[in-house]
């Protein structure tokens, strides 16, 4: 490799000296020749144009086209000129000439005087003057072989470069014997000495010049190294024999010590890790017990607070020793109703939190149209916002779909909106916004104009039963809603956060994954058979319920509606019998019934042609989202949850009656009531 490298370098030096000089020389000659060629062609065409102009001046003066054409025909003696033309003083074409083998492309009018280059041709427009007066213009077109000549010169240059390289190779080959061979010989011996360690090798001497002296000095250096190496090896052998005997015992002791230290170190690390894990486990257990105790204590307090009001006011109402006026009774009843609703909300949220923490909650993750959810939330929150004078601002034109559980997502948004309205200032606003996040996510934010939160309050925000000092405030709350909200958002694969400024307001946001929309299911309930009768003024309602207290409550509510007639059944079997015999206009059905359950009773009603058209409203304590979805899917017309909300119950009855009236078909006069 070294021999080839030196030879190549020598050849490269020669080539680098010869090639630039040759290229400069050839380039100078080529440039000069091309310049002379162009100038000669210009002069020749200009001379030809002037000569042709003098010859054709009389023809132009006397308008003799025949003479002009004969003069132009003389251009055939110039094979390089393949076209020509004469133009009169106005620039109009007067006579023209084209070589037999050329396409006759002649400009229709005279161009600007001077030379032009077009498609490998040189064009010339030369004015003709007679006594200082312009009488016409001569046009000539000739072959412009500049590129051909340049290519020829390039081929000559390449051939010359090849010859130069060959000459450099021949010269370098000769110089290799004189210059590089002695140096390569010394390098070869040095490489073998380094590779094998054999310092007995010697370099061959060529001639008597400096390179030969270098080889001689190198050989003397190898001789000195060889003698010193021999002496050093003898000395090392003696030292090694003595040291080997002394070091064997030391090495054995050191080995045993190292093994012992390694074992002690490993056992120490294992013990430290075990102690650390035990301490962490004890701390986690202690923290869990403390959190559990705090949670149970807070839950007991929160449950007893509304119960105290319910039981206290109920005792006053039922006591003969504590007489009260009608206004006081109404006030006490309102307190009981308010505390009962608060207790129900608290129980629902505790159950939600318990299911989430135990991992028992099941989510139905699917593409959810965010616009529908926002519209439903706006409709539900508008009355509360109107009562408090708070403006609700929702985004328009939302077309994004997110991956979530529809019911749980609605629950999350309603919780955030409810808090934003309750803890807002008078005449404030709540702004809902949607912005695209990163990596296929969407940020949904709820901003209020309330009093805001401090950094310490934000840190404690998602702790159970922690209302951040609002326990004694006018607003009711459980302190669990945000904890449930956070857990639900995380179960749906999202995240929740908050930013707040005291005195300005707060912004709660959730990030959810976006997805492609899917065809939305058909809205409304599955069609029921057409009613074969016109609605009457008296409406028969059948209520199937096994709990006497619930039966009594519905009877009292129905008693305020004289147009409604109530039938009751304590179990599913009797309910089916009454439905088939009386054919009521609508049915209220509990689901957890003795004997035949509500789901099975609904299936049997739908299978019977006599009762298939009767709308059935579920009225049950099965309040979980999955229960509601299964009930609607089974065919219930509406799904109402206990405890009964009288306004919601009345609205369900009224909407069902309206729906029945719209679907009623006119029949003959004598068959309105009895022939159902």
Sign of CA dihedral 566, 571, 576, 580: negative
- Return the pLDDT at 291: 54
Mean pLDDT value across residues 238-255: 79
Q: pLDDT, tens digit, for every residue of 330-359?
A: 888 887 887 787 677 667 767 766 666 666
Least confident piece of the model among 12-16, 90-94, 617-621: 12-16
- Return the pLDDT at 614: 94
Helices 646-663 and 548-559 sit at what angle, rounded to 10 degrees? Answer: 60
- Return the pLDDT at 432: 94
**The pLDDT of residue 593 is above 60:** yes
Q: pLDDT, tens digit, for every residue of 397-425?
A: 888 899 988 878 888 898 899 889 988 88
Secondary-structure percent of the chain, ordered helix, strand, coil, rounded to 5:
55, 15, 25
Q: pLDDT, tens digit, for every residue of 40-62?
A: 888 888 888 888 888 888 888 88
Q: Are 421 and 388 in contact (CB under 8 A)?
A: yes
Mean pLDDT value across residues 369-373: 89
What percent of the chain shows pLDDT beyond 90? 16
For residue 263, what is the enclosing H or E element?
helix 210-318
User: Distance between CA 545 and CA 571 in Å, rounded?
Assistant: 6
Q: Are 428 and 449 in contact (CB under 8 A)?
A: yes
Please provide the distance, in angstroms rounded to a whole number, between the alpha carbons at the two ends of the chain: 112
Q: pLDDT, tens digit, for every residue of 308-328?
A: 778 877 887 887 777 778 888
Tell me the Ramachandran region of residue 479: left when phi exceeds 0, alpha when psi lies from -120 to 50, beta otherwise: left
User: Distance between CA 110 and CA 51 in Å, rounded?
Assistant: 18
Q: Are 346 and 306 in contact (CB under 8 A)?
A: yes
User: Distance between CA 62 and CA 323 in Å, rounded?
Assistant: 143
Name residue 501's beta-bridge partners: 505
CA angle, corner 653, sides to 651 and 659, nearest 5? 100
Confidence of residue 434 (pLDDT cuts 50, 70, 90): very high
Residue 549 DSSP SS3: helix
User: Distance between CA 35 and CA 41 in Å, rounded?
Assistant: 10
Q: Are 183 and 210 in contact (CB under 8 A)?
A: no
Q: Enumerate helices (H) and strands (E) in the chain, giving the number of each.
A: 15, 17
Q: pLDDT, tens digit, for every residue of 598-654?
A: 999 999 999 999 999 999 999 988 877 778 888 999 999 999 988 888 889 999 999
- What DSSP state is assigned to residue 64? -
- The DSSP secondary structure of 359-415, one letter per residue, reads T------EEEEHHHHHHHHHHHHHHHHHHTT-EEE--SS---EEEE-HHHHHHHHHH
- Return the pLDDT at 618: 93
- Return the pLDDT at 532: 41
- Return the pLDDT at 359: 65
What percent of the chain shows pLDDT beyond 70? 82
Integer CA distances (angstroms), 357 to 165, 344, 411, 484, 533, in order: 86, 20, 17, 9, 53
**The pLDDT of residue 103 is above 90:** no
User: Distance between CA 54 and CA 46 in Å, rounded?
Assistant: 12
Look at residues 376, 371, 374, 378 and name the one whose alpha carbon lies nearest to residue 401.
371
The two tokens of residue 552 are: 């009594």
Q: Tell me the pLDDT of the chain averaged across its residues.
A: 79
Confidence of residue 30 (pLDDT cuts 50, 70, 90): confident
Q: pLDDT, tens digit, for every residue of 535-570?
A: 456 899 999 998 887 888 899 989 888 889 999 998
Burial (Cβ within 10 Å: 0-12, 13-18, ≥19) of residue 181: middle
More confident residue, 183 or 81: 81
User: Distance between CA 399 and CA 474 in Å, rounded?
Assistant: 38
User: Distance between CA 122 and CA 116 in Å, rounded?
Assistant: 6
Mean pLDDT value across residues 9-21: 72
Q: Are 298 and 480 in contact (CB under 8 A)?
A: no
Confidence of residue 242 (pLDDT cuts 50, 70, 90): confident
User: Distance between CA 595 and CA 600 in Å, rounded?
Assistant: 10
Q: Are 478 and 349 in contact (CB under 8 A)?
A: yes
- What DSSP state is assigned to residue 665? P
Name residue 129's beta-bridge partners: 134
Burial (Cβ within 10 Å: 0-12, 13-18, ≥19) of residue 571: middle
- Return the pLDDT at 472: 47
Integer CA distances (angstroms), 334 to 154, 283, 324, in order: 108, 47, 14
- Return the pLDDT at 172: 67
User: Distance between CA 18 and CA 168 in Å, rounded?
Assistant: 8
Task: Decide the pairing of beta strands 616-620 and 638-641.
Answer: parallel
User: Whole-model pTM?
Assistant: 0.38
Peptide bond preceding 643: is omega within 30 degrees of 0, i.e. cis?
yes
Q: Are 38 and 203 in contact (CB under 8 A)?
A: no
- Return the pLDDT at 298: 56
Sign of CA dihedral 73, 74, 80, 81: negative
The two tokens of residue 180 are: 């590089």
- The radius of gyration computed from the CA coordinates of the chain, to the nearest angstrom, equals 54
**The pLDDT of residue 187 is above 60:** yes
User: Distance between CA 239 and CA 224 in Å, rounded?
Assistant: 23
Rounded to the nearest 10°, the torsion over CA 394, 396, 397, 402 is: -10
């Amino acid at each position: 490799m070294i021999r080839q490298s030196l030879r190549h370098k020598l050849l490269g030096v020669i080539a680098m000296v010869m090639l630039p000089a040759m290229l400069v020389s050839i380039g100078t000659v080529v440039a000069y020749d091309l310049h002379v060629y162009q100038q000669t062609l210009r002069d020749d065409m200009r001379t030809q144009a002037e000569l042709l102009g003098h010859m054709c001046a009389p023809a132009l003066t006397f308008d003799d086209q025949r003479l002009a054409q004969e003069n132009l025909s003389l251009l055939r003696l110039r094979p390089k000129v393949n076209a020509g033309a004469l133009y009169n003083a106005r620039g109009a074409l007067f006579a023209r000439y084209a070589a037999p083998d050329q396409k006759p492309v002649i400009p229709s009018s005279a161009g600007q005087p001077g030379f032009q280059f077009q498609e490998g041709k040189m064009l010339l427009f030369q004015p003709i003057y007679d006594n200082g007066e312009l009488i016409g213009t001569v046009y000539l077109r000739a072959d412009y072989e500049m590129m051909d000549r340049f290519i020829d010169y390039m081929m000559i240059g390449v051939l010359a470069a090849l010859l130069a390289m060959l000459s450099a190779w021949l010269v370098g080959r000769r110089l290799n014997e004189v210059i590089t061979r002695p140096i390569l010989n010394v390098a070869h011996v040095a490489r073998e000495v380094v590779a094998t360690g054999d310092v007995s090798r010697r370099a061959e001497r060529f001639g008597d010049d400096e390179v030969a002296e270098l080889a001689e000095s190198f050989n003397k250096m190898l001789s000195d190294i060889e003698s010193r190496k021999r002496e050093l090896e003898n000395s090392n052998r003696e030292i090694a024999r003595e040291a080997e005997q002394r070091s064997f015992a030391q090495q054995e002791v050191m080995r045993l010590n190292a093994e012992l230290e390694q074992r002690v170190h490993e056992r120490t690390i294992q013990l430290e890790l075990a102690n650390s894990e035990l301490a962490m486990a004890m701390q986690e257990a202690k923290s869990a017990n403390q959190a559990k105790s705090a949670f149970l204590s807070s839950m007991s307090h929160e449950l007893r607070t509304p119960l105290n009001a319910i039981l206290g006011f109920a005792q006053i109402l039922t006591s003969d020793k504590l007489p009260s006026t009608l206004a006081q009774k109404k006030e006490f009843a309102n307190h009981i109703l308010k505390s009962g609703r608060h207790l129900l909300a608290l129980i629902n949220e505790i159950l939600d939190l318990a299911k989430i923490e135990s991992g028992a909650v099941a989510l139905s993750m699917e593409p959810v149209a965010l616009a529908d959810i926002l519209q439903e939330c706006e409709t539900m929150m508008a009355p509360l916002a109107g009562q408090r004078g708070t403006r609700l601002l929702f985004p328009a034109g939302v077309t994004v779909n997110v991956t979530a559980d529809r019911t749980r997502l609605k629950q999350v948004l309603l919780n955030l909106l409810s808090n934003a309205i309750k803890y807002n200032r008078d005449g404030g606003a709540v702004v809902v916004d949607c912005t695209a996040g990163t990596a296929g996510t969407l940020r949904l934010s709820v901003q209020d104009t309330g009093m805001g939160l401090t950094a310490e309050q934000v840190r404690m925000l998602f702790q159970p039963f922690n209302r951040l000092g609002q326990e004694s405030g006018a607003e009711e709350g459980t302190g669990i809603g945000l904890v449930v909200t956070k857990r639900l958002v995380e179960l749906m694969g999202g995240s929740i956060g908050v930013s707040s400024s005291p005195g300005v307001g707060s912004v709660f946001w959730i990030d959810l994954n976006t997805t492609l929309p899917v065809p939305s299911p058909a809205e409304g309930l599955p069609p029921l058979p057409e009613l074969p009768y016109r609605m009457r003024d008296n409406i028969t309602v059948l209520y199937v319920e096994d709990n006497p207290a619930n039966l009594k409550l519905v009877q009292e509510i129905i008693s305020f509606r004289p147009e409604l007639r109530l039938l009751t059944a304590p179990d599913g079997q009797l309910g089916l019998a009454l439905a088939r015999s009386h054919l009521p206009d609508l049915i209220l059905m509990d689901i957890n019934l003795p004997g035949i359950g509500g789901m099975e009773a609904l299936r049997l009603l739908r299978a019977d042609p006599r009762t298939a058209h009767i709308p059935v409203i579920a009225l049950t304590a099965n309040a979980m989202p999955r229960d509601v979805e299964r009930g609607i899917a089974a065919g219930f017309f509406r799904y109402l949850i206990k405890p009964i909300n009288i306004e919601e119950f009345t609205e369900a009855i009224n909407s069902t009656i309206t729906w029945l009236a719209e679907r009623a078909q006119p029949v003959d006069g004598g068959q309105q009531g009895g022939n159902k």
